[in-house]
Every structure is written in structure tokens, then in C-alpha cells.
């Protein structure tokens, strides 16, 4: 049965400097006045509406609010790395403000916060999680080009030594390793095109393609969690028959796998609703 819902396009983008976004609000969420929030972050193709289309049915079935921010201004060229000092606006803080505005506009209290990022959006999501683990209930990182490793000896964005790149941010493994995380990548996503960072440092440390990089990163995250005796949850799923096309990945089960992962986290965490307060 089709769920009634209302869509908000580019809500809150009328003021200069505010992050624009698309949102999908199922009627049951509006009626209850509370819901889980799913934030879906696009890659460098800026396909926010494509992600809305791919995920809205799954969100409606669960009564989740779906939000897709639009990092599409000249100030957002460094959004994948959260907007380092001198490289535009802070993408993490802009998103926090957009979530606050969405909550005010809809009058909905957001409980669990599930984050999804594709390609460049996957870069943003895992770095946002590392910077603000208290704001993320669970995350899915899909087809990221490269990663920030849980290594305090490497400078950000290769490692955790942030310095002055992101004012006020400290990446603490004992905190971000507790957040459940699913990494997905297409089984055919092995091309080294212009969208893949191919510096010698990244190639040597992370591998030559998105599959190898995902495997190495998940292995590093799991090892870091074990070293701290943390019950962290880090998983990797390879999507059969899919390359680096978002639509092909959805057809191969990306959206279904993402929402099943969010469901499993929600079910395994009694009282999780309301555990992530709206950012101030």
C-alpha cells in the first residue's frame, strides 16, 4: 500500500549561506511528531534527487524521514573532507544546521540518525562519523574513493591527526569505533578514473581501486576496535554485478541492504529512539 508523504525540495535554501536539501516526510512521521532520520549524501555528481528516488520507498515503509543535503556551491568544493580551514565552509557544521532547520520546519523530533553516503558522499559520511560519533546511530559508506584511516600518526585526511584543519574537531577512536558501520562497493567498481584519487601515497597505503581500499579500511577499523576491546561492528558487502553507478548499485540491492542494516541496529539497541539530540 502506498504511504502518503510530503516532499520538501530545497527547503531552507532561500537564505544565502544555508545548506540546501531535499526531504521526504512520511505522513506517519508528521503525525507522531518523531521519527528516525536518514541522511543520504551525494557524490561529486550531486545526484541528491536520485538518492531520494532510490530510498524514499524504503523510508516510507518504516516511517523514517529522508534528507538529502545539496553540497553544490563553490563553498562546498572540499565537502568530502568536511571543509578544511581555508577551503570553503565547514560541511559538517552546515549539515548540522540543515538538520536543525528541518526539525523546526517539520516539528519532528529526530531519534536514531542513520547516515548514508555514496562515493564522495561516502567520504563525507565516514569523516563526519569520526568527527561527531555522538550524532550518528549507524552509517553506510558506499563506493568511497578513499578513506581516513584510524591512525593517529598520519595527518588528516589520511589519518586522525587533525591539527588546525577542522577547528574544534578531535577524532577519538574509542568513540567513533563504537558506531555500527557497513561499507558497500560494487564487484565491478575497479576503474581508476578521474573520480578516484590516485596519488602514490593513497595507492600504496590503501590500494589501487575502490574494492581493495574498502577491504583495507574495514580491516584497519576492525583491528583498531579489537585493540581497544570494543564491541564495534564494521561490515563489508560486495554488490554482485554493480560498478560505480548509483542506479546499478540500487538495482543490485544497495538500498535494501542499507535499510536492513539500519533496521538491525535499531532493533539491537533498546531505547535508541531519541538518543541523538538535535545539534545545537
Query: For residue range 222-238, what is the model confidence (pLDDT) as tens digits?
Result: 999 999 999 879 999 99
Confidence of residue 90 (pLDDT cuts 50, 70, 90): very high
**Residue position matching grid coordinates 581497544:** 228
pLDDT above 50 for 3:
no
For position 93, which CATH number holds?
Answer: 3.40.50.1820
pLDDT above 80 for 261:
yes
* Residue at 273 is within a domain: no
Query: What contacts 233, CB < 8 A, 6 or more positions away?
Result: 180, 181, 265
* Residue at 275 is within a domain: no
* Residue at 62 is within a domain: yes
* Residue at 274 is within a domain: no
Query: For residue range 20-31, what is the model confidence (pLDDT) as tens digits?
Result: 999 999 999 999
* Residue at 125 is within a domain: yes
Q: Which has the closest alpha carbon to 121: 272, 10, 273, 249?
A: 249
Domain that holds residue 143: 5-268
pLDDT of residue 17: 82
* Residue at 178 is within a domain: yes
* Residue at 276 is within a domain: no
> For the chain, what is the domain count?
1
Amino acid at each position: 500500500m502506498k504511504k502518503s508523504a510530503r516532499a520538501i525540495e530545497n527547503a531552507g535554501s532561500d537564505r544565502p549561506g544555508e545548506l540546501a536539501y531535499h526531504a521526504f516526510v512520511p505522513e506517519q512521521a508528521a503525525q507522531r511528531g518523531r521519527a528516525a532520520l536518514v541522511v543520504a549524501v551525494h557524490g561529486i555528481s550531486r545526484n541528491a534527487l536520485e538518492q531520494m528516488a532510490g530510498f524514499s520507498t524504503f523510508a516510507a515503509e518504516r516511517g523514517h524521514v529522508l534528507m538529502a543535503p545539496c553540497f553544490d556551491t563553490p563553498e562546498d568544493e572540499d565537502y568530502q573532507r568536511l571543509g578544511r580551514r581555508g577551503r570553503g565552509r565547514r560541511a559538517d557544521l552546515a549539515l548540522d544546521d540543515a538538520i536543525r532547520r528541518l526539525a523546526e520546519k517539520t516539528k519532528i523530533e529526530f531519534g536514531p540518525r542513520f547516515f548514508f553516503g555514496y562515493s564522495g558522499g561516502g567520504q563525507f559520511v565516514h569523516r563526519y562519523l569520526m568527527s561527531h560519533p555522538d550524532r550518528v546511530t549507524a552509517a553506510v559508506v558506499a563506493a568511497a574513493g578513499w578513506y581516513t584511516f584510524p591512525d593517529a600518526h598520519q595527518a588528516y585526511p589520511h589519518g586522525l591527526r587533525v591539527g588546525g584543519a577542522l577547528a574544534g574537531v578531535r577524532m577519538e577512536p574509542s568513540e567513533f569505533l563504537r558506531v555500527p558501520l557497513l561499507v558497500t562497493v560494487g564487484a565491478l567498481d575497479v576503474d581508476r578514473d578521474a573520480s578516484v584519487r590516485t596519488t602514490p601515497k593513497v595507492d600504496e597505503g590503501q590500494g589501487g581501486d575502490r574494492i581493495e581500499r574498502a577491504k583495507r579500511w574495514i580491516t584497519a577499523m576492525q583491528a583498531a576496535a579489537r585493540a581497544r576491546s570494543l564491541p564495534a561492528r564494521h561490515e563489508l558487502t560486495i554488490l554482485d554485478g554493480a560498478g560505480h553507478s548509483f542506479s546499478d548499485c540500487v538495482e543490485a540491492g544497495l538500498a535494501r541492504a542499507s535499510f536492513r542494516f539500519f533496521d538491525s541496529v535499531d532493533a539491537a539497541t533498546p531505547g535508541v529512539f531519541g538518543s541523538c539530540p538535535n545539534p545545537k
